Amino acid sequence: MEKKNQLNICLIGNPNVGKSTLFNSLTGARQHVGNWPGKTVEKKEGSFVHKGKTIKIVDLPGSYSLYPYTEEESVVSDFLSNDRSDTIVQIVDAQNLVRNLYLTTQLIDLKKPLILALNMNQSAEKQGISVNVVLLSEVLGIPVIPIDSRNKKSLIGLLDEIIADRKKTPSLKNIGFLPSERYRYIKDLVNKAIFRNKKPTVTGLEEKIDRIVTNKYLGIPIFLVIMLVVFQVSFSLSAPLENMLERILNLLAVDVDSFLRRLGASKLFISLITEGIVSGVGGVLTFVPVIGFLYFFISVFEDSGYMARVAYVMDFLMMKLGLHGKAFISLILGFGCNVPGIIATKTLENERDRLLAILINPFVSCAARLPIYVLFTGIFFADNQGWVIFSLYVMGIIVAILSGLLFQRLFVKKEASPFFIELPPYRLPSLTGIVLHVWTRVWLFIKRAGTLILAFSVIIWVLASFPAGVEYGSEKSYFGLIGQTLTPFFRPLGFGNWKSTTALMFGLVAKEVVVSAFGTLYKAGSSLEAALRHDFTPLAAYSFMVFALLYIPCIAVLAAIKKETNSWKWPLFTVVYTTFVAWIVSFFIYQGGKLLGFS
């Protein structure tokens, strides 16, 4: 009985046909996201109920063909080869039937129940295109249902067809197996099935916008200005929320401390909960607001069609790295936080491009490093604070570029995939879809990063609290002893003192923790500024900031690298490589500065 009242369907379609919008409209919040087994490609599943039947739905990656060219298409091909779904639903764009129907002919060859959902009909009508749905259905031998993926009411006909008891098994006659023969068949069909008005109602506004935003001279500056505004707005809007979260976490730590004391808990256990878990995990949770806002704006750009234009204009620059334009989007996200930047590499077509983009992303200076820059430049470079911080951001980009050139020569020797990207029409983004997208991404960030950070926060707490009886984070703790052991490693860089070494180790949880670690470690009478001036020269301070920019990324980033590569090899490589690069660059800056007479 349960099997009779449950249906399994899968959504398939070319990129940019409204497939994800339809999935969101059908499932709402009843969806979950993961990776396909053994793949880094995202897997979306959800469920909904229609007329008493539970329908489970899988949203397959965008695909142009069942003969795989990209990793996403290989996932689609493998899934359909072993699929036991009751129905396949293909979403097609009424404006681009010739291209969309090529996949349809391949799906018909599978001899499985198939429904064609004809989307974007209003946009087609504005271009003077009318589709004869009845003729299209008769020739293809499958149901063709007009829909508006953003309007739930327009989906009733599609849902009724999905739960219908009998579904035709389609077959095409007189069609060959080479692509050229299929396209000839499709063009003949489309010529019969569509009617074009002589005077389309659509204006040339989109073309005028594209002449500006894809201009080879104006495209990149326009995008940089837009992203600068996005960052400023995101940080401004998220600041009150971050402050509120910090206050809540501080109050939580105090309340938990008081509660545990009333229960008679030991000081060691109280320290574990408040200083280890609450502080460690809380430091990451404070970044949720800015990540949410950045995802919101990026989602707006993606849904509106603008991000495809960005990838197009950035292609020439990124090609110098052996990548194409889409990689630039992941690097831009890295300026906010490297974690979403690394996750965003999912949009790249193959594993080779994705790996290159992942490995260079940690060198992009994230927002968490900014407190370190502000602390040191405020003390040592107050008159030129903006320029010094700007130089660090530029240095991160330069190191990322040079590393990309090195990686493609050493171990990523395949040719970069050809750059194919469809410039979709401009659309008004769906607010519901954007909110669902942001919530899904933020929740994934919390789950993926939070669990590993919790574990490492406990490890760091143990190192800072033992041997038993020592002061938390003191010179006699294991952390202090390790710091003293590693001090000679940093002495050639200009900051050979155990406190700065220990602060850098605390930065493995989150880079902004470096600043709070200094506040904890330098608490002997004098102010933090005076203490730092005692242990650092301006040249050593700049060397320290460079090292903080380039050395091991935080645990959340390493967790994201592990998740996206399905291997511990690349996080471990990142640890070793970034440490090596940070040491070499800081060494040359400090020792070269001394030779040039800088203090």
CA 31/CA 33 separation, integer angstroms: 7
Give phi and psi for 114, each to the nearest 5. Answer: -135, 135
What homologous superfamily does CATH list for 6-202? P-loop containing nucleotide triphosphate hydrolases (3.40.50.300)
Identify the CA nearest to 514 among candidates 493, 534, 530, 528.
528
pTM here is 0.65
CA 246/CA 250 separation, integer angstroms: 6
Q: Is the pLDDT of residue 234 over 80?
A: no
CB 220 within 8 A of CB 313: yes
CA 599/CA 593 separation, integer angstroms: 8
Identify the CA nearest to 445 among candidates 566, 288, 276.
288
CA 124/CA 126 separation, integer angstroms: 5
Q: What is the pLDDT of residues 47-79, one digit of tens each?
A: 989 988 999 999 998 888 888 766 677 888 888
Tell me the helix, strand and coil percentages in the chain, rounded to 5: 65, 10, 30
Question: Residue 476, SS3?
Answer: coil
Question: How much is the pLDDT for 524?
Answer: 40
Question: How much is the pLDDT for 1?
Answer: 42
User: Looking at residues 18-37, what average pLDDT do you find?
Assistant: 75
All CATH 3.40.50.300 domain ranges of the chain, comma separated, are: 6-202
Which helix (H) or strand (E) element contains residue 158? helix 156-162
Q: What is the pLDDT of residues 245-267, one digit of tens each?
A: 878 888 888 898 899 999 988 88
Considering only 35-44, 107-116, 288-297, 531-540, which range has the smallest mean pLDDT? Answer: 35-44
Band of the pLDDT at 297, cuts 50, 70, 90? Answer: confident
Question: How much is the pLDDT for 523?
Answer: 54
CB 23 within 8 A of CB 10: no
Pull the structure tokens for residue 21: 């919008």
| Strand 87-93, strand 6-13: pairing | parallel
The per-residue pLDDT of the chain, averaged, comes to 82
Task: Count Cβ atoms below 10 Å from residue 79 Cβ, excluding itself.
Answer: 17
